[in-house]
Chains A and B, each alone.
Chain A
């Protein structure tokens, strides 16, 4: 391992970390703007032009607030909770391929921090670790409502992880690989052999299940039961204040960013875009790659917008409806999807 490799990865990690934090920051702003526009309002427009500095103002406010640690809480776990939530949200970005490799001074630099061959599993592991942040925070608060909400979050995440995993298995039957880089490379371009290359067009049902589950995994509406104000005061972060609360809220937005990125990578071709081969021949490898990164971020931004659009449309599920949908709706559908995919693949390969 030479030092150039270490520096290259270090820069890449720093850039991706920065980008995901900035996107999460501006997601809070975008959420308020989208909510406002969908409800015929204006949203924040006082801090800077169009309220563009609003996230900074919110951040400053969060840091300035008094930090309260309840006397009856478990002090150590109370501090660990939000940190764990944010950490788990952030490390998910490591395996996502952000673009095709670019060439800098004769050196090929892949735009991916780690191309591990179990990338999909890694994402799943990290996502399911994220619930520990919520669970620990809710338990350590020593507050009934926080605990109830943490239990809700945990049971919801575990229920929906099953359907999510099953929907991914159908996808893996098609891809034959767990490495996200290979999955993206197999979706090269847009049209090939008379059908779209993007897996959304091969696994529409799988995508639907995956998307619904990622709404549930990120605790977003209509699955935001852990945070329902009317029943649980504030949710698992009832006792939190200052930047610890900020960490929880921030983690939700980073989770949203990561799951948008995963959805774009797995089902919508990642950094692939139509006519990318002609872009390589006309503009050169680097420019084509940069367009690819832009394409990926376009898809991610669209998905983030979609998350918000859904949030301001659909009312929250009741708890029994949530469990019915997860266990009686999505899991059988996902299993059926696996069987159908398997049969279709067998037919295509044998006949």
Chain B
């Protein structure tokens, strides 16, 4: 049948010519190509020492933000935990005492806030769900570890450093 679109290409299988059957010219050509790669710059990034530049919307480790006065923004509303498709976030809320006013912005705060980094899929839905702009996935790659329990990150690892410490 004649092809209507005329786009079909029929593969012609010719028997190998004498030069092709000798293998050697093709082998020499191939060896030339491989040896030229010996002098090319390697594409490898030596990861722990050197880090590849991330794109601006890269989603890495989470951080819990503070406001301009250094108070924690998170109010333990639980929307991030609710939105999380991987069920990675859990928290326990507590009421702020009068003497803790300089620590937390709202009357309610997260006494514990845990993210299981083995469950997290870094989709960024918690970031989108947060009404207080308290959580962002702006950190580095989550490091490897040996034990499962060490992948459950608490507030000690997640909360941003206080303002005076950052300076």
Residues of A within 8 A of B (CB): 36-42, 45, 309-310, 312-314, 325
- How many angstroms from the CA of A309 to the CA of B37 in the assembled complex? 11
B147 an interface residue at 8 Å Cβ cutoff? no
B102 an interface residue at 8 Å Cβ cutoff? no
Contact partner, A310, options B31, B37, B40, B41, Cβ 8 Å: B31
Would you call B38 and A313 a contact (CB within 8 A)? Answer: no
Determine chain A's interface SS by DSSP, over half rule.
loop
Would you call A41 and B42 a contact (CB within 8 A)? Answer: yes
Which residues of chain B are within 8 angstroms of A36 by Cβ–Cβ distance?
A: 42
Which residues of chain B are within 8 angstroms of A41 by Cβ–Cβ distance?
A: 42-44
Contact A40:B37 (CB < 8 A) given known A313-B27, A314-B27: yes
Which residues of chain A are within 8 angstroms of B44 by Cβ–Cβ distance?
A: 40-42
Closest 5 CB pairs of A and B: A42-B44, A313-B34, A313-B30, A38-B34, A40-B43
* Additional pairs, 10, CB under 8 Å, beyond known A38-B34, A40-B37: A36-B42, A37-B37, A40-B44, A41-B43, A42-B42, A42-B44, A310-B31, A313-B27, A313-B33, A314-B27
- How many angstroms from the CA of A42 to the CA of B40 in the assembled complex? 11
B46 an interface residue at 8 Å Cβ cutoff? yes
B31 to chain A: closest residue by CB: A313
- How many angstroms from the CA of A41 to the CA of B33 in the assembled complex? 15
Which residues of chain A are within 8 angstroms of B1 by Cβ–Cβ distance?
A: none
B165 an interface residue at 8 Å Cβ cutoff? no
Q: Please name 9 pairs of A and B residues whose Cβ atoms are closer than 8 Å in the assembled complex, sorted by A.
A: A38-B34, A38-B37, A40-B44, A41-B42, A41-B44, A313-B30, A313-B31, A313-B34, A314-B30
Which residues of chain B are within 8 angstroms of A312 by Cβ–Cβ distance?
A: 34
Would you call A38 and B30 a contact (CB within 8 A)? Answer: no
- How many angstroms from the CA of A42 to the CA of B43 in the assembled complex? 8
B144 an interface residue at 8 Å Cβ cutoff? no
Q: Kindly name the residue among A41, A312, A313, A325 whose own CB sees the greatest number of chain B CB atoms within 10 A.
A: A313
B11 an interface residue at 8 Å Cβ cutoff? no
- How many angstroms from the CA of A309 to the CA of B46 in the assembled complex? 25
B24 to chain A: closest residue by CB: A208
B45 to chain A: closest residue by CB: A42
Contact A309:B42 (CB < 8 A) given known A37-B37, A39-B37, A40-B37: no
Would you call A40 and B31 a contact (CB within 8 A)? Answer: no
Which residues of chain A are within 8 angstroms of B23 by Cβ–Cβ distance?
A: 325
Interface string of B56-82 (1 = CB under 8 A from A): 000000000000000000000000000
- How many angstroms from the CA of A36 to the CA of B37 in the assembled complex? 10
- How many angstroms from the CA of A169 to the CA of B121 in the assembled complex? 67
Would you call B34 and A40 a contact (CB within 8 A)? Answer: no
Which residues of chain A are within 8 angstroms of B41 by Cβ–Cβ distance?
A: 40
Which residues of chain B are within 8 angstroms of A313 by Cβ–Cβ distance?
A: 27, 30-31, 33-34
B10 an interface residue at 8 Å Cβ cutoff? no
Nearest-CB distance from A13 to chain B (Å)?
36
B4 an interface residue at 8 Å Cβ cutoff? no
Which residues of chain B are within 8 angstroms of A37 by Cβ–Cβ distance?
A: 37-38, 42
Which residues of chain A are within 8 angstroms of B43 by Cβ–Cβ distance?
A: 40-41
Interface residues of B in 107-127 (CB under 8 A from A): none
B35 an interface residue at 8 Å Cβ cutoff? yes
Which residues of chain A are within 8 angstroms of B31 by Cβ–Cβ distance?
A: 309-310, 313
- How many angstroms from the CA of A309 to the CA of B31 in the assembled complex? 7
- How many angstroms from the CA of A212 to the CA of B26 in the assembled complex? 15
Would you call A38 and B38 a contact (CB within 8 A)? Answer: yes
Which residues of chain B are within 8 angstroms of A39 by Cβ–Cβ distance?
A: 37
